[in-house]
Chain A
Amino acid sequence: MASVTTFAAIDVGSYELELTIYEISPKKGIVQLERLRKVIGLGRDTYGQGMISYDRVDEMCRLLHRFQGVMAEYQVENYRAYGTSAIREAENREVVLDQIKVRTGIEIDVLSNSEQRFLCYKAIAAKENEFNNIIQKGTAIVEVGSGSTQISLFDKDALVTTQNLKLGALRIHEILARIGGMAEDRKKLAQELIDNDIATFKKLFLKERNVKNIIATGVCAMYLGRGAHADKQRISAQEFMEFYEDLRNMGEEQIADKYDIPGEFVSLVVPGAMVYKRLIDATEAEMVWLPGVRLGDGIVAEFAEQKKLIHFAHDFSKDILVAARNIAKRYMSDKDHAAILEKNVLNIFDGMKKYHGLGKRERLLLQISAILHDCGKYISMKTPGECAYNIILSTEIIGVSHRERVIIANVVKYNAMEFDYRTQDVDLNKAMRITIAKLTAILKIGNAMDRSQKQKFKDVRVSVKDLQMFITTSSSESILLEETMFTHRADFFEEVYGIRPVLKKKKGA
Chain B
Amino acid sequence: MGVEKDFQKFEYFQNRELSWLQFNHRVLSEARDKNNLLFERLKFLAITASNLDEFVMVRVASLKDMVHADYTGRDIAGMTAEEQLEKIGHGMHGLVDVQYSTWNRSLLPLLKKEKIEFISCHEQLDDSQGAFVDEYFEASIYPVVTPMAVDPSRPFPLIRNKTLNIAALLKKKKGAEKKGELEFATVQVPAVLPRIVELPKGKDGERFVILLEEIIERNMSRLFLNYEIVCAHPYRIMRNADLSIDEEEAEDLLKEIERQLKRRQWGEVIRLEVEESIDKRLLKILKKEFAIKDDVIFFINGPLDLTFLMKIYGTEGFDHLKQKPWKPQIVPEFANEEGVFANIRKGDIFLHHPYESFDPVVDFVKQAASDPQVLAIKQTLYRVSGHSPIVAALARAAENGKQVTVLVELKARFDEENNILWAKRLEQAGCHVIYGLLGLKTHCKICLVVRKEEDGIRRYVHMATGNYNDSTAKLYTDTGIMTCDRAIGEDASAVFNMLSGYSEPLSWNKLSMAPLWLKNRFVSLIRREVKCVSQGYEGRIIAKMNSLCDPVIMEELYKASAAGVKIDLIVRGICCLKTGLPGVSENITVRSIVGAFLEHSRIFYFGNGGNYEIYMGSADWMPRNLDRRVELLFPVEVKENKEQALHILETELADNVRSHILQTDGAYEKPDKRGKVLVDSQAVFAQEAIQAARDIKEKKGQLVSGRTFIPRERPEE
Contacts and interface: CB of A to CB of B under 8 A. Distances in A.
A222 B506 CA distance: 8
Given A39-B503, A260-B517, A4 B456 contact: yes
Interface string A8-29: 0000000010000001010110
A35 B505 contact: yes
Given A37-B503, A262-B504, A73 B403 contact: yes
A417 B10 CA distance: 90
B602 to A, nearest CB: 24
Contacts of A231: 507
Contact of A38 (B452, B502, B507, B517): B502
A467 interface: no
A347 B94 CA distance: 102
Contact of A23 (B457, B500, B507): B457
A36 interface: yes
B452 A75 contact: yes
Contacts of A50: none
B658 to A, nearest CB: 41
Contact of B457 (A6, A36, A38): A6
Given A73-B403, A74-B450, A25 B456 contact: yes
Given A36-B497, A37-B502, A31 B456 contact: yes
A38 B490 CA distance: 18
B504 A69 contact: no
Nearest to B493: A34
Contacts of A73: 375-376, 403, 450
B451 to A, nearest CB: 11
Contact of A74 (B375, B432, B455): B375
Contacts, number: 53
B455 A38 contact: no
A164 to B, nearest CB: 25
Contacts of A4: 455-456
B375 A38 contact: no
A292 interface: yes
Nearest to A23: B456
Contacts of A381: none
A69 B404 CA distance: 11
A289 B290 CA distance: 71
B252 interface: no
B506 A292 contact: yes
A426 interface: no
A231 B500 CA distance: 26
Nearest to B404: A73
A204 interface: no
A72 interface: yes
Interface string A30-48: 0101111111000000000
Contact of A72 (B403, B453, B455): B403
Contacts of A177: none
Contacts of B375: 73-75
B452 A1 contact: yes
B204 interface: no
Contacts of A23: 456-457
B36 to A, nearest CB: 50
Interface string B496-522: 010011111111000000000100100
B716 interface: no
B456 A28 contact: yes
B713 interface: no
Given A36-B497, A38-B503, A75-B375, A1 B454 contact: yes
A332 to B, nearest CB: 46
A327 B454 CA distance: 49
Nearest to A262: B504
B455 A25 contact: yes
B457 A33 contact: yes
Interface string A434-453: 00000000000000000000
Contacts of A6: 457
Contact of A36 (B432, B452, B502, B520): B502
Interface in B429-484: 432, 450, 452-457
Interface of B: 375-376, 403, 432, 450, 452-457, 490, 493-494, 497, 500-507, 517, 520
29 contacts: A1-B452, A1-B454, A6-B457, A16-B503, A23-B456, A23-B457, A33-B457, A33-B490, A34-B493, A34-B497, A35-B494, A35-B505, A35-B506, A36-B502, A37-B502, A38-B503, A69-B403, A69-B432, A73-B375, A73-B376, A73-B450, A74-B375, A74-B376, A74-B450, A231-B507, A260-B517, A260-B520, A262-B504, A292-B506
| Chain A to chain B: the 5 pairs with minimum beta-carbon distance, closest first | A73-B403, A37-B503, A23-B456, A4-B456, A73-B376
Given A4-B455, A73-B403, A75-B375, 12 more contacts: A1-B454, A6-B457, A23-B457, A27-B455, A35-B505, A38-B502, A38-B503, A73-B450, A74-B457, A75-B452, A262-B504, A264-B503
